[in-house]
Structure 1
């Protein structure tokens, strides 16, 4: 287990979120879960806490109720090798969610993701690349590379 682990608060769908992410990332796996006992809180047998591993990163989810909401202040950054990988993850993660801007999306559980090429820093460190990125929702590597090379 990682010494530092992202810990996300869900209302009541932590297990569904974990199952969704495990279906997207083939190397993902469930690490641990804690189900509610007769002591509570919540319905006996329901998941209270579930830990999964995605691409080597441990993530823990809590069914903590409606008092805290996920926000764009926290996001996962997903570095992709090529356009095909960006397209694949974008399609799966936006299913039931929404596209935002500059390679960001929000999935159906309200978790924000940045789906970016592995050389994103290099592409946007150039003014042309940055300007091009600012006009995109899903990132287009070829268009970013072209814009970065022309300025």
Structure 2
């Protein structure tokens, strides 16, 4: 059995997928194909489907006109090893989008992302609840996450 996330794009699916797969290392656009039959969303050929990977995650996508807009119920989290990676991914995804609190943003296609340090889970879980509280409080004061500030909070500084 395999599991893949599935995204519904109203329009511009191919541009979004090409952008995402070029931005995230280890990613690939596997294929894009039109559906040859008429669907409730349009005539034959007007609905397109795709398969792609982002890092180690499998995705499918459809471009079939408006349905439900993307929202925070589903987001893509990118875990980065360095501030330079956070900065690069954040700035690229933010172009034409909107920044939000705690490392979240909405890209130009409306998809929600969280760009975070890989160590964030380590800082937030475990028996040291005081450390988790300090890191959470520091994160709540940020838009784009800053690794050095979060590390200081984790250490108690």
Please indicate, yes or no, whether the TM-score normalized by the shorter chain is above 0.5.
yes
Q: Distance in 2 between matches of 1:138 and 1:115?
A: 8
Q: Distance in 2 between matches of 1:85 and 1:145?
A: 16
| TM-fit CA distance, 1:27 | 2.9
Q: Distance in 1 between matches of 2:7 and 2:43?
A: 20
Q: Distance in 2 between matches of 1:43 and 1:75?
A: 30
- The answer on 1:67 being equivalent to 2:73 is no
Partner of 1:30: 29
Partner of 2:53: 53
- The answer on 1:140 being equivalent to 2:146 is yes
Partner of 2:95: 95
- The answer on 1:4 being equivalent to 2:3 is yes
Partner of 1:16: 15
Query: Do 2:97 and 2:107's aligned partners in 1 also have CA atoms closer than 8 Å?
Result: yes
Comparing 46-55 and 9-18, the one that deviates more: 46-55
Q: TM-score, normalized by length of structure 2?
A: 0.85
Q: Distance in 1 between matches of 2:18 and 2:106?
A: 17
Query: Do 1:33 and 1:47's aligned partners in 2 also have CA atoms closer than 8 Å?
Result: no
Q: Distance in 2 between matches of 1:95 and 1:44?
A: 33
| TM-fit CA distance, 1:46 | 4.8
Q: TM-score, normalized by length of structure 1?
A: 0.88
Partner of 1:113: 113
- 1:131 partner SS: helix
Query: Do 1:124 and 1:133's aligned partners in 2 also have CA atoms closer than 8 Å?
Result: no
Partner of 1:104: 104
Unaligned runs of 5+ in 2: 126-130
Q: Distance in 2 between matches of 1:31 and 1:150?
A: 45
- The answer on 1:128 being equivalent to 2:134 is yes
Q: Distance in 1 between matches of 2:54 and 2:122?
A: 25
Query: Do 2:38 and 2:45's aligned partners in 1 also have CA atoms closer than 8 Å?
Result: no
RMSD: 1.9
